[in-house]
Amino acid sequence: MLSIENITHSIDAWLNGKFSPTVVLLLESVIVGLCVIGLFAVLGLVLVLMERKVSAYMQVRLGPNRVGPAGTLQTVADTLKLAMKEGLTPDGADKLLFNLAPFLVIVVAMMILAPVAFAKGIQIWDINIGVLYITAISSLSVVGVLMAGWASNNKYSLLGAMRSGAQIVSYELSAGMSVISIVVLTGSLRISDIITSQQDGWWLFKGHIPAMISFIIFIIAVTAETNRAPFDLAEAESELTAGFHTEYSGMRFALFFLAEYVNVFIVCAIAATLFLGGWMPLHIGHWAGFNRVMDYIPSSLWFMGKTFFLIFVIMWFRWTFPRLRIDQLLNLEWKYLLPMSMVNLLLMTVISIEGWHF
């Protein structure tokens, strides 16, 4: 059967027959790097178009419909425009940090991609502390944002970056708590273990109400972490023009823009992995027939379907809810999400110890 796993194995075997192991490792790293860059480019184009179409439909408009069939080439044209624009560096800016920040943000996004399982057997790095690695690296992106805000030498940029910092630091907590509640159930931090533990059903359904609560908390927290509406105080078009990337133009602005969407994809991929079984098809307990039918759908499709469904939900949030004020934002985290996730984690631990989950 033709699957991505077989293709990678045959490439690996072919390379091993031709070159020495060290060269094979190097070549495979290059191939993986190119694949990641390609994925980023495609994600940027697809997600921006999806966002514009979703927002248009939710606001009873048509959205982009001029460039290409039904406007599908709109984002390609936009990218072309951004690539041709001048990348301006303001006079008063800290040149090195200013130019470094967008690359830092995108590198962080690339690093989080490493332990994500895209399909059965397609994982760049199946590290044994995968979930910990993801939570650790994702908090690094605030450094890039703060760097951009500080180096721009612009009060709006700095304000936006500070807000973003406060936001990411506080919402990291409840996102981490909800991740831990799944780790408690599986007893492993390795992504592949977490996925195989959902062979007879996804944790969202197996873990009773606490799993659903932690799923909702996770979605809220990652929406805040990726600085998307209703938590987009860091950008807040109407108050801070564009927040930390006010001073950026051309391709460097495009990198920030891309990083936002790639981060959305990544957090949705993680949510899909932890709560919806990653590439694991929908299996229900011991219904062998049903499970076999579900297995016919390729695992990569399952993963992408779940991820894009979650991305759609996050876009749905963005085009429905009004922006929170900074005090409301911190209230929500410290007074509601954090206590709730603590109690929830306690419940989850009891369920796990007593073996009440399915």
Partner 1 sequence: MAFLKKYISDVLGAARSLLKGMRLTGYYFTHHKEIITQQYPDNREEMKLPERFRGEVVMLHDARNEHACTGCTACELACPNGTIKIITKFETTPEGKKKKALDTFIYHLELCTMCNLCIEACPTDAIKMAQNFEHSVYDRSKLTKKLNNPGSKIREGVE
Could you say whether residue 346 binds partner 1 (CB under 8 A)? no
Q: Interacting stretch for partner 1, rule CB under 8 A, among 27-35, 70-78, 252-260, 316-324? A: 316-324
The C-alpha torsion from 35 through 41 and 45 to 51, rounded to 10°, is: 90
14 binds partner 1 (CB under 8 A): no
Q: What is the smallest separation between the CB atom of 68 and partner 1, expressed in angstroms? A: 17
Q: Which of 14, 309, 321, 358 binds partner 1 (CB under 8 A)?
A: 321
Q: Which of 320, 326, 334, 346 binds partner 1 (CB under 8 A)?
A: 320
The answer to whether 58 contacts partner 1 (rule: CB under 8 A) is yes
Interacting stretch for partner 1, rule CB under 8 A, among 5-13, 76-84, 93-101, 319-327?
Answer: 319-327
Cβ-defined contacts of 232-238 (< 8 Å, 24+): 232/318, 232/323, 233/160, 233/163, 233/164, 233/167, 233/323, 233/324, 233/325, 233/326, 233/329, 234/145, 234/160, 234/161, 234/163, 234/164, 234/167, 235/160, 236/160, 236/163, 236/323
Shortest separation between residue 65's beta carbon and partner 1, angstroms: 9
Q: Per CB under 8 A, which of residues 61..80 are in contact with partner 1?
A: 61-62
Cβ atoms of 246 and 240 within 8 Å: the answer is yes
H or E element in which residue 144 lies:
helix 141-151
Contact segment (CB under 8 A) with partner 1 among 173-181, 301-309, 317-325, 350-358 equals 317-325
Binding test (CB under 8 A) with partner 1, winner from 60, 84, 288, 353: 60
Q: What is the DSSP letter of 330?
A: H
Q: Which of 32, 50, 129, 340 touches partner 1 (CB under 8 A)?
A: 340
CA distance 156 to 245: 9
Residue 308 touches partner 1, criterion: CB under 8 A: no
Do residues 63 and 55 make contact, with C-beta atoms less than 8 angstroms apart? Answer: yes
Among 57, 125, 356, 358, binds partner 1 (CB under 8 A): 57
Under rule CB under 8 A, residue 316 binds partner 1: yes
Assess 19 for contact with partner 1 (CB under 8 A): no
Query: Residue 323 gets which letter from DSSP?
Result: P
User: CB-based contacts of 96: which residues, under 8 Å, 6+ apart?
Assistant: 151
Residues 37-56, mask of contacts with partner 1 (x by CB under 8 A): -----------------x--
What radius of gyration do the chain's Cα atoms show? 21
Does residue 327 interact with partner 1 by CB under 8 A? Answer: no
Give ∠ CA 171-317-109 in degrees, rounded to 5: 50
Closest alpha carbon to 333 in 166, 208, 189:
166
Binding residues for partner 1, rule: CB under 8 A, are 54, 57-62, 316-317, 319-321, 336, 340
